A and B are shown apart, each in its own frame.
Chain A
Amino acid sequence: QKEVEQNSGPLSVPEGAIASLNCTYSDRGSQSFFWYRQYSGKSPELIMSIYSNGDKEDGRFTAQLNKASQYVSLLIRDSQPSDSATYLCAALGQAGTALIFGKGTTLSVSS
């Protein structure tokens, strides 16, 4: 069974701090990884995608991928209360058709 694992949290950080969200995956053949943000009662919103080892930055967000360790992370710099949400990590299966999702990590940013 291919799996994506995330710490459910909650992860609590003060406003302005760096939030670090982590994810591991079991399918060594996975090549593409995604982070979605989901506010309570809403649908997931794609915020980052990463396909190769290393870091990818987009504004306050940095995604990191280490395929050898089967590890993906998302860093949120200068965290804001509006970043409070559940963050879902997803891996594209080796067949390249459908995403495998983790259960999500809940982030709470306090002002």
Chain B
Amino acid sequence: DGGITQSPKYLFRKEGQNVTLSCEQNLNHDAMYWYRQDPGQGLRLIYYSQIVNDFQKGDIAEGYSVSREKKESFPLTVTSAQKNPTAFYLCASSMGYEQYFGPGTRLTVT
């Protein structure tokens, strides 16, 4: 089945720890994106990548880092510098203008 997978579905971490969220797609899409969603809020763009080995900051990149070493994979690291990391993290990919989302990772930091 073609699609976007994110793992894990739920993640719990202690404050001060870095954590890496996985995003993989087998749709052969060039572009990949990371968004964050807080309760009652729209999606906010963290980082995006249009080609391998290249990525750009979105609106809220502080405290996050990414890599794009393979077309299929775009992992997101939430660092200890991110002040409010608890949120629902969504990965998306696109070939043209339409973006398709993975199932998301719900991160809780205490």
Query: Which of the four size classes fits the interface of chain A?
Result: 20 to 34
> From residue A81, how far is it (CB to closest CB) to chain B in Å?
22
Asked if B103 and A42 sit within 8 Å, CB to CB, the answer is yes
Partner of A44, one of B31, B44, B97, B101: B101
Asked if A43 and B99 sit within 8 Å, CB to CB, the answer is no
Complex-state Cα separation, A32 to B42, whole angstroms: 18
Asked if B48 and A98 sit within 8 Å, CB to CB, the answer is yes
Query: Which of the four size classes fits the interface of chain B?
Result: 20 to 34
| Known contacts A88-B43, A97-B56, A98-B33; A46 and B90 CB within 8 A of each other | no
> From residue B50, how far is it (CB to closest CB) to chain A in Å?
7
| A49 interface residue per 8 A CB criterion | yes
Asked if A43 and B102 sit within 8 Å, CB to CB, the answer is yes
Complex-state Cα separation, A3 to B58, whole angstroms: 15
Asked if B58 and A46 sit within 8 Å, CB to CB, the answer is no
> From residue B52, how far is it (CB to closest CB) to chain A in Å?
16
Complex-state Cα separation, A104 to B31, whole angstroms: 24
Q: Supply 14 A–B pairs (Cβ within 8 Å), ascending by A.
A: A4-B42, A8-B40, A42-B103, A43-B90, A43-B103, A44-B101, A49-B98, A51-B97, A96-B97, A97-B48, A99-B43, A101-B44, A102-B42, A103-B42
Binding site for B on A (CB under 8 A): 4, 8, 32, 34, 36, 42-46, 49, 51, 88, 90, 92, 96-99, 101-104
